[in-house]
Every structure is written in C-alpha cells, then in structure tokens.
Structure 1
C-alpha cells in the first residue's frame, strides 16, 4: 500500500485535478492537519473530476474549509514568508485550540465509563489508514509527544478485567471523541492499523477471562485499506485471530464506519468483506451525517440497501458534533432528524433497527427523538441510550425545538416539574 502525505499528496492533487490552487490549499491545511491518503483511496474512491466538491474529496482530502479563514491566512502567510519559527508557533497554537481533549488522558489506555463495557485504546494504535477530514483526533496524529503517547498494553487490560468482573463487553477503538464520554467513537485511530503480532496479546488477555462475552472492534480499514485483510503480510494471521475469538464462543462484532455508498463499492472492499464475514464475525455499519458529504436521505437509503445486500447490518446514524476542524461538516439537529426519518421511509424494512440520530456526549449516548408536540409547542426529545448509571437508561428529557441547534449543549431543557414534561405525540413517524 502506498501512503501519500505532505508534498507528495499536494502533487497528487495538482496532477489529478489540474488545479494547482487546490494543491496549495492542501499544503497550507496539511501544516496543521497531517493527512495520510492511501493509494486505494486516491485511485478507487475520489472522483477527481468533481473536486473539490466531490463528497469523498471533502471527506478524505485536505481542503480550505477545514480551517477558519483567519487561521488559513495565518498559516499561508507564514509559509509565504518562509518564517519557520513563526509557522511552528502558529501551527502549535492551532493544534492546541483544535484539540477537543486538552487534558485528562488515561495512561492505562482504558475507559470504563459504563459498568458492563470497557473501551480499550491499543497502545500502539496512534494512526489511522487514512484519517477523515471530519476526524477529531488530529493532535494524536500530529506527533505531539503528550497527546500521541503510547497508552498502556495487554497487561493493563488483563488487570482491569480481573478487578472488574462486571465487564462483559470490550470495545477496541481509538481515543474517545469530543466530550470524553468513552462511548463508541465515530472517528477513532484504527485498531487494525496495529500489526497482528501487536494486537494478538490484547485478544489473548480477553480470551483468558471467561466473563468477557462480547468483543467489538471499530474500523475504517475496509474502505481505506482493504488490502489489510487481503494481501498484507499478516492478513491471514489477522483473520485467524478473529476466528479464535468466534471459536471461543464469544460474540465478535466489527463495526465499519462508513459515510458514503462509494466507500464499499470497489471490488477489493467487497473481497475484504467476504473474508471478514467468513471468520464468523457480525459486520455492522454506522456513520455520521456530514454537510456536503451525505446530508441526503436518498443517499443514506441507497447506502443502507447496498450494505444489507452485502450481508452487513446498518445500525447507527450519528450526529456530527462539528467542533474544531469539523465545524464545516455540522448540521442542525432538525436537519439530521429529517434525513434519518426520510431515509427510513425509503427503506421501511430497516425501521427499528437503525438507531439514530445519536449524540455521544459527556452525559452518555443520547438519541434525538422527535420533534414531539408538548403543551408549550414543539420540542426535541433526548432519550438516554447509554449512561454511566444504568437506572437512567431510557429516561427522556425535552428541550424546546430550536431549528438552529447543532448539539445537545446548544439546547435549553425544560426545568424539573415543568408541565411541558408530559409525554408528547410525535409530529412525524418513520414507517
């Protein structure tokens, strides 16, 4: 697999698009956000004739919209002046501001926020086969010695499981996303970036603990680097490792993060899916609704149909938080609700099986239901899907409908005891 970065990536953009200005934008943005683009992505996914408006180009390539205009100008000016010291100050300042996790990383590489679930952050899983432009983990990829430090190992995992027999579900992903909730990350550094020899000790630690019944792995590798499961030197070893998990009687779930139908259409991706399914793992998909990438109900319906035909189980639609570099992808909650409801109407057989839209927040995982009609008017209903306190699961809170709100912390909840907390009737329902 060829991985393109820096000047080589800029040269590729100039060559494929015939637009040097786009290469210049990529060079400026690339000073702050260290893009890595695989040859598979460049050759199979991006429609270069539509750049920079092609959805996959916006998702995987550096472009001007990822930085605020003033920030882009500051980096561009430092580059033009050749002032390397000034450039480093500007870039470091931007990375610090764009990092949603400025403090509080767990050196053990583990998150145990929900009683039955342990999130494992593999120690060497610092990178991804191809970070998306919507990713929140840029400081981790940028070589920061603190944010990018290795996080624990199999010994810490085994010790945590021994001390907490209530853990039955182990999730492999990258660092938690904005808010530090420890829920299923939409944009992790990829666990399958690890060589099989480094991943195997983590799996062995699980298999030695009979209380662990479910193993989940979140990955983008099928769409970014399908060769990981086909012709990589240790591809067969990786598949045998997954087979060991299934043979042990545990439930193995591979969650494929997919945001556009084109990501799973290449023949190599289809072959990779076949090999993964043959291990006995359950293959699920989820993704976030992103502005000018997939904010279209017909696209989601088509994507879900294609995934189902491939034997995959679509099960989640996420709300994009839109903090830091991701602000250009965010959408109002009302719009995300419309996309979700209309997509389900177009694929009625999936109703009830695709959870969403959901927001992994500091409070836990919240599903956005509604809008609902309350005594004082329309409202959003926020339902607790997962919380640190199991007693709170399923609880519903209401907030006045705000067509501009993009995240839960932009909503104003009704106060305790307010008569508007009475159950409401849905204004619209999905078939």
Structure 2
C-alpha cells in the first residue's frame, strides 16, 4: 500500500466524509485548526468502522471532535473560519488558545531539559535518573496524529513549543558523561517516520561508542497501529529490521514501545505480520496506552487488548491516565473510575497478562500509580505509589489522599490526615531551583 496522508486541507476528499453532517465536517476543520489533525489511508480504509461514525472509537482517535475544545474556544475559531479570515489571523487565534491548553505539562520545558557543558539541550529530556529521552529532529511528525496526544505541541507549528535535536554526537557524549543513565528513549513525534538511514545515523554512534552504562535502547512509536507496512512492504523495511538486529548483536536490549489504544489496531494480517517480524529481530515489544473516554473506557476492551497483545507476543506495559493537556477534558475519567476499570480488567486476565501497570499518571513529581481505596482511622482514602520519581528515593513509596470521586489528576487531590504529600517539600525545592536540584546522583 502506498502511504497517503489526510489533514485539514484535504480530508474532504475522503469518500466516507460525505456520510457526515455539515456540522460534523465543519467541526473537523475548526478543531483541526487548533489541535493537530492528520490521518492516512490505512487508518481510513482499515481501522475506522464508518457505519458507526462519528461514534466509532478509531474515528474519534484520529478525527477532531467539536467537544475537544471548550465552547468559548470553539466559537472563536468557528467565527473566524466561517467568516473567511486570512491564515495569519486564524493562526494567531489558534496560538492564543494553544497556550491555554497547558502545552507542556509536568515541567517538560522548565525541569526536564538538561544543561550539559553550559549548553541547554533542547532536543533532550532527562526527568528520571536512568532514562534520557531524545527527540531526533527528523522524527517530529507521525503517520497519523492521535487526538489525545500529550505531545500535540510538536505538530502545532509553534516553534517555541517543539523539542528536537540533530546532535547524535552530543547524545553519545551526554550518556557517556552520565553513568547513571542506562536507557535512551527515542521519541517524537514518531522516530519510525524517519527513513532507516536517518534512524541509523542516530543509533549507530550509540552502538559504536560501546558505552558500558547504556543497556537499553527504546523506540516509542505508533507505527504498528497506524502504518504496519513500515515493517513489511515499505522500501526500507528490510533495512529497518536489519538495524534492529544490529542493536541486539551489539549487546543492547531493544525495547519497542508500541502504542495501541483500541483492539481494532491489532486486527488484520498487516499488523500481525509486522509484530512477528519485529520480534524475530530480538526486539521486545511492550505496549501502552492511556485510558480514554470515548475510546477504551471499559474493562472488556482492556482485558481483550491485553490478551490479544500477549497472543501476538507483546508484553502489556502501562495503562496511563489521560494527561492534563490539550483535549484532556474530553478524554479524562475520574481517577476512581480509572482504577475500577483497571481492576476489573486485571481480574479478567491470567497472570501472564498482568505485567501491565496502571492506572498511572505521568505527572510533575513522577509516575504515580493509583492503587485503590483504603479505610484508615475511619477515613475512606485513595492509595498511591511512585513507580518513577524525580528523586529515585521516592520510588515505591506509598502515600494517601482524601477520597475524591471527581478528581481527574493528582493536583485535584488533597493529602490525607492534614499532612502534605511526602515529596512536596523536595518538589517545591526542585521547582524553585530547576532541574539541577534533582537527585539523579550521576557522579
């Protein structure tokens, strides 16, 4: 299949769009002028059940919906677009709205971007001691955009909101100089939007440097869900799989971090063949997704997707909570309900599927897992623990909040027993002093 992309400029050429109402079509353009919109012919022809649109989960996952913007923001953009305003005026209004949507949550710019040898590494993030997140500049787009994506600013056209780096040599130097780093995570966008030769230009220097502390190379990607031909029939698919084998041959663990949000993405010969070819290289496929209202907010869906992933040789890894950015108000569920869905799904599967962790908020202090409810001293509480933390000493420490059926993010929670969360004082110090205050213990 030849790849063909659709965006706000040409989506009306999709034949099935004619089945939507005028209001639904206008909403795609209005919301797609603020939040990134891009899909492709594989998604359109194989993943979306057009008989159920606009309520089909895969349609919602890739096509903007009216309620993804607040009524006020929607009205502003609709008035401009329908009045025929010029592109500059529309972009100015869209940019103003984007800045109100918390474009970089959890301190991504203020706290996660490291300084190395006096230089701010704008294409890097380093939040947790063991893992450096790297944004190759040629990988800052995707085969299709998820409407929930917490990295939506990468595709918004606002240069000040992007992460990117062309400096593969700088990446090697940074990992060499920080012996606490064991993992490099290539992310974006989607690194696998890049041609194999470009990806190789980043991976090969890491392999040739033979860094003793570097144990794991991770690639975060949606390609299996949105364009499985990247691993089968694309003109450089064979070279990509050969590159994966080289990582394994160099003694590094290659973790293929695959995003699957709905069971439809795991159906069909194309994705099954792609998964098999990746596993044959020695790479391990770990799967993750946020819990999303309108998309996958039922225990049945999650139990089914975990079972299917294991059947295909993948390892369920994370169920995330929808991040506090972009269209969160459209996708988020209360934390209590998120835990209930996870628990009910977890109960439906065997131990071999229970490698998954969740529900997890990837938030300012770290990765916070919701463990459930508890009754202590006559109070009904919510229980949490850190899976990752800005200070490694926070990891695996439990803490409690007052019970709150409406809370959707950790900032909505009130600490239990009238005390602060155990990490608050140190986190406040990090916020005051910047990322260098974190206890990464590199030395």
Taking structure 2 as the reference length, the TM-score comes to 0.87
**Alignment of structure 1 residues 243-392 onto 2, 5 Å:** 243-350=245-352, 352-392=354-394
Confirm or deny: 8 A CA contact 1:107 1:152 kept in the other structure: no
Question: 1:203 — aligned with what?
Answer: 203
- Structure 1's unaligned 5+ residue stretches are 175-188, 419-431
Alpha-carbon distance in structure 1 between the residues aligned to 2:48 and 2:16: 14
Alpha-carbon distance in structure 1 between the residues aligned to 2:403 and 2:418: 17
Helix, strand or coil for the counterpart of 1:49? Answer: coil
Change (3 A) 1:352 1:373: farther
Question: Of 20, 26, 29, which residue of structure 2 is paired with 1:27?
Answer: 29
Question: 1:79 — aligned with what?
Answer: 81
Alpha-carbon distance in structure 2 between the residues aligned to 1:57 and 1:301: 22
Cα displacement (A) at 1:269: 1.0
Question: 1:185 — aligned with what?
Answer: none
Question: 2:156 — aligned with what?
Answer: 142
> Does structure 1 residue 95 correspond to structure 2 residue 101?
no
Cα displacement (A) at 1:271: 1.2
Cα displacement (A) at 1:313: 1.0
Q: Cα RMSD over matched residues?
A: 1.9
Question: 2:175 — aligned with what?
Answer: 161
Alpha-carbon distance in structure 2 between the residues aligned to 1:49 and 1:417: 53
Cα displacement (A) at 1:151: 2.2
Please identify, of 16-25 and 46-55, the stretch whose mean Cα deviation from structure 2 is larger: 16-25
Alpha-carbon distance in structure 2 between the residues aligned to 1:311 and 1:159: 35
Question: 2:134 — aligned with what?
Answer: 120
Change (3 A) 1:148 1:400: closer
Helix, strand or coil for the counterpart of 1:292? Answer: coil
Cα displacement (A) at 1:259: 1.1
Alpha-carbon distance in structure 2 between the residues aligned to 1:392 and 1:135: 27
Question: 1:67 — aligned with what?
Answer: 69
> Does structure 1 residue 194 correspond to structure 2 residue 208?
no
Alpha-carbon distance in structure 1 between the residues aligned to 2:353 and 2:283: 23
Change (3 A) 1:335 1:170: same
Cα deviation, 1:158-206, whole Å, max 9, x if unaligned, reads: 11012112211211112xxxxxxxxxxxxxx111112212211221222
Confirm or deny: 8 A CA contact 2:248 2:283 kept in the other structure: yes
Alpha-carbon distance in structure 1 between the residues aligned to 2:168 and 2:223: 22
Cα displacement (A) at 1:213: 0.9
Confirm or deny: 8 A CA contact 2:321 2:361 kept in the other structure: yes
Change (3 A) 1:416 1:241: farther
Alpha-carbon distance in structure 2 between the residues aligned to 1:417 and 1:69: 38
Cα deviation, 1:278-306, whole Å, max 9, x if unaligned, reads: 11101111111100111100111111111
Question: 2:403 — aligned with what?
Answer: 401
Question: 2:441 — aligned with what?
Answer: none
Q: How many residue pairs get matched?
A: 404
Confirm or deny: 8 A CA contact 2:316 2:353 kept in the other structure: no
Alpha-carbon distance in structure 2 between the residues aligned to 1:74 and 1:13: 29
> Does structure 1 residue 132 correspond to structure 2 residue 132?
no
Confirm or deny: 8 A CA contact 1:16 1:48 kept in the other structure: no
Cα displacement (A) at 1:251: 1.3
Taking structure 1 as the reference length, the TM-score comes to 0.89
Alpha-carbon distance in structure 2 between the residues aligned to 1:133 and 1:144: 18
Helix, strand or coil for the counterpart of 2:14? Answer: helix
Change (3 A) 1:7 1:270: same
Alpha-carbon distance in structure 1 between the residues aligned to 2:394 and 2:34: 40
- Structure 2's unaligned 5+ residue stretches are 114-119, 421-443
Alpha-carbon distance in structure 2 between the residues aligned to 1:245 and 1:267: 26
Cα deviation, 1:241-289, whole Å, max 9, x if unaligned, reads: 1110011122111111111111110221111111111111011111111
Alpha-carbon distance in structure 2 between the residues aligned to 1:374 and 1:415: 10
Question: 1:110 — aligned with what?
Answer: 124
Confirm or deny: 8 A CA contact 1:255 1:285 kept in the other structure: yes
Confirm or deny: 8 A CA contact 1:322 1:328 kept in the other structure: no
Cα displacement (A) at 1:339: 0.5
Alpha-carbon distance in structure 2 between the residues aligned to 1:315 and 1:125: 23
Alpha-carbon distance in structure 1 between the residues aligned to 2:28 and 2:20: 14
